[in-house]
Amino acid sequence: MSSDAEPAPVSAKPPVTLREVAAAAGVSVATASKALNGQGRMTAETRERIREVAQRLGFRPNHLAQSLLRKRSFTVGLLTNDTYGRFSLPLMAGVSDALVDNGVSVFLCNVEDDTRLGQLHVEAMLDKRVDGIIATGKRIDRHLPIDLSNLRIPVVYAFTQPYAGAVGLVSDDAGGARLAVEHFLRLGRRRIAHVTGPAGFAVVHARAEAYREVLEAHGLPVGEPLLGAWSEAWGHDAVAKLFGNGRGRKGWPDAVFCGNDQIARGVIDALRERGIRVPDDVGVIGFDNWEIVAEATRPPLTSVDMNLSALGREAGLALLSLVGGQPAAPGIRKLPCRLVVRQSCGRPPGG
């Protein structure tokens, strides 16, 4: 035989059938089906023997046929326009955690900001008979580019604007801002500035209002929030406005609450360039707890975490409840944030 003989072509083996499992186990097809579906009356030994045979032969049940019988596909669609994944990735991890625990798979589609693309993805999901859809985005005050309000399957909105009468979940931005300002107060900081993002974002106003309320409740001066881009460059520029006013150290803020972690990193870099020490002279807190930024900042950045993974899990559980026929109160539910303390704020007096 020549050593140059061509190898036999690779071909897929036909799937193992239920009839083959039944024959190998010495039972009827009906008995095998009931055993593998946890149904029917038989001895534990018989049921276990059939399952062992099925596993040994590599039998895979026909989930499509099962879903038609149960009128469920055990798949859920997940729509997002967060192409960067900054917010949607941790949220999706939470959704998956909730659904996988309940035997449900996730069908992910990125609609970007394209209405036609969104329509195509929704049609594909409906063709696959998904049990429901979770819609998520990159900001809480904007709808996705596709209207889901008239679908005949349950829809839950997470970190995006829901339609009237729908179930929505978002992080409590005002509560997160309170956590940050109150942490500064516990550390003895009293001149707290706020540097944040553009005025067109609802979260900017929610956080700024909470910042103002906490300071006023403690009888402390409230500076006008500085609004700019969600960027390190804006954080860097804002320091010149806060610390370049000629008032000297006594007029400087002793803390800066920032609208996101990139702004906070820019603030810290600019303070270092001016010889102002963080946290000895000025404490800094960010928002989002984007670990790749917060942990790489020097010093590591204390930041408000929006608990997006937990939010995603709650969205998944809410959808499962709706799919199961359980009613849910419409409206927006706010989930609490948490403060992740690192090294950019210092210790309390005497601590």
pLDDT at 60: 77
Q: Whole-angstrom Cα distance, residue 326 to residue 329?
A: 10
pLDDT confidence of residue 231: 98
Half-sphere exposure for 134 (CA within 13 Å, toward CB) = 33
Confidence at residue 10, expressed as pLDDT on a 0 to 100 scale: 47
Phi/psi at 244 (nearest 5 deg)?
-115, 30
Geometric angle at alpha carbon 49, from 47 and 50, rounded to 5° = 65
CB 179 within 8 Å of CB 211: no
Q: What is the pLDDT of residue 2?
A: 47
Q: Is the pTM of this model over 0.85?
A: no
What is the model's pLDDT at position 66? Answer: 55
Give pLDDT, residue 351: 59
List C-alpha distances in Å: 210 to 178, 182, 222: 6, 11, 11
Domains by residue range for the chain, with CATH:
18-59 (no CATH), 72-171+308-336 (3.40.50.2300), 173-305 (3.40.50.2300)
- Report the Cα 24 to chain-centroid distance in Å: 47
Nearest to 58 by CA among 114, 18, 10: 18
In 3D space, the residue among 28, 96, 20, 102 whose CA is nearest the CA of residue 59 turns out to be 20
**Alpha carbon distances (Å) from 138 to 99, 171, 312, 321, 347:** 22, 13, 14, 25, 34
pLDDT tens-digit profile, the chain (351 residues): 444 555 545 445 677 888 899 999 999 887 888 888 787 788 999 999 999 999 999 887 765 445 544 578 889 999 999 978 888 899 999 999 998 877 788 999 999 889 999 999 999 999 989 999 999 999 999 999 999 999 999 999 999 999 989 999 999 999 999 999 999 999 999 999 999 999 999 999 999 999 999 999 999 999 999 999 999 999 999 999 999 865 567 789 999 999 999 999 999 999 999 999 999 999 999 999 999 999 999 999 999 999 999 999 999 999 999 998 898 889 999 999 999 999 999 987 765
Element (H, E) at 45: helix 44-57
Structure tokens at 213: 């309320």
pLDDT score, position 247:
59
Compute the distance between CA of residue 176 and CA of residue 335 in angstroms, rounded to an integer: 10
Residue positions counted in the chain: 351
Angle at 145 between CA 74 and CA 291, to 5 degrees: 75
CA 343 from centre of chain: 25
